[in-house]
Amino acid sequence: MSDKSLFAHAREYADFQATEAVRAGANSPAVRGSDWRLATVTAVNPNGTVDADGIDDIRCIDTYTLPAVGDVIRIDQSSSGNWLAMGTLATVSGWTTLALAAGYTNPGHGYTASWMREGRRIWMRGRIGPTSGTIPDGDTLATIPTAIRPGVAVAWAVARDAGAMPAVCRLEITAAGALRTFQSTNLPTWVSLDGLSYTI
């Protein structure tokens, strides 16, 4: 074999090795450095890790405290190959007016009854009162939209008018989405949603 042929073969081999090195580097975090991408959670494990997109046992950072199957999360991979779940992408809806049941409205003070979604957390604010009279015990003031209903009934002690002391009454949202109050005597003329929060 001539020197020219040997040189050509050596060059082809060197080109092949360079191509393979680039391909291997593209798939090796130790070569390319750290990386991140989006993934969908497929399992939440008893040890606090999650599985996502075929990657098992991804550790969660301390702010990702409520992982759930179906969450779209950011996952980071270190240069050593370890994965870390950084949490869900921010989902902030802005304040949305809550549709009230017939016979209810804003009592003329405070925020209009509204809700806001922040990731998996729902916030509420505003005041609700009847168009006349008082709120009957157990009456439904509104039906919470399906997409933001809690999985189980949740309840709070909320501010109300000063017709009773202390000026609080029970307010709850059922799993079916009914927002209602409970006060058997000294019925309220309005109730407040300010500061209410729950996760979905």
How high is the pLDDT of residue 126? 97
Residue range 2-45, pLDDT digits in tens = 666 666 666 776 666 667 665 655 555 555 556 889 999 999 99
Please tell me the predicted confidence (pLDDT) of residue 34. Answer: 62
Alpha-carbon gap, residue 135 to 83, rounded angstroms: 53
Give the bridge partners for 167, in sequence order.
Answer: none
Q: Is the pLDDT of residue 132 over 80?
A: yes
Confidence (pLDDT) at 89 = 77
Distance CA 103, CA 94 (A): 26
- At residue 31, the pLDDT reads 56
For the segment 129-149, the average pLDDT, to the nearest whole number, is 95
Q: Residue 63: what pLDDT?
A: 85
Please give the domain boundaries of the chain with CATH numbers for all domains. Answer: 32-89 (2.40.50), 96-199 (2.60.40.1830)
Report the pLDDT averaged over residues 127-137: 96
Find the angle CA(93)-CA(71)-CA(60) to the nearest 5 degrees: 110
